[in-house]
Amino acid sequence: MSRVPPPLPVTLDVAPLPRTQIGPFLILGVGKDADRNAIEAAWAQRLIWSRKGQAKSALEDVNWARESLNDPVRRLRADAASLNVDTCDGVLKRFKERFQGKDKLPPGCRPLDVEKNLADYEPALQLPDREELRRNLPEPEIPREVPAVAVILEDFVRKPIDPWEVDL
């Protein structure tokens, strides 16, 4: 009888984050609805991988993750604060099963909408002529009570106005 070896862990190279931010669910590789048996099995497997150097998780992090998931209060905190976006009640998992089916699909997401290349994009609208816009803009009335306004406006009007470079 041939025994199938367990799959090797998937290792991601990401910036080092504190274990509290990564969360015990991702460290052990279990879902947020995992029961005690699944947590213990994942913990044992991660210990083996850590001791053999096959996983980048430290032994302390693996043990911390197990302790966190076995304590109900710490598990709730980890559920709310970790990077794993699904919640304990599995809302996102149910959505996935509802719209994608329960079949095992390759990990990752397929985009529903593909971005268009905007390098050569030109809007369908005709842009108005700059000089015509300048001629059609009414000159503001300068209040006589504030003499500095006249000087500021005269300096502003002397320079050509480029609508794309106006700092407001």
For residue 8, pLDDT beyond 70: no
**74 belongs to a structural domain:** yes
Q: What is the pLDDT of residues 57-103, one digit of tens each?
A: 788 888 998 999 999 888 888 887 776 666 656 666 677 777 766 66
Across residues 136-147, what is the average pLDDT? 76
**3 belongs to a structural domain:** yes
**64 belongs to a structural domain:** yes
**32 belongs to a structural domain:** yes
* Domain encompassing residue 63: 1-87
Number of domains the chain contains: 1
**25 belongs to a structural domain:** yes
Alpha-carbon dihedral 87, 91, 93, 96, rounded to 10 degrees: -150
**127 belongs to a structural domain:** no
CATH of residue 1: 1.10.287
**66 belongs to a structural domain:** yes
pTM over 0.85: no
**108 belongs to a structural domain:** no
With H, G, I as helix, E, B as strand and everything else as coil, classify residue 84: coil
Q: So what's the pLDDT on residue 41?
A: 92
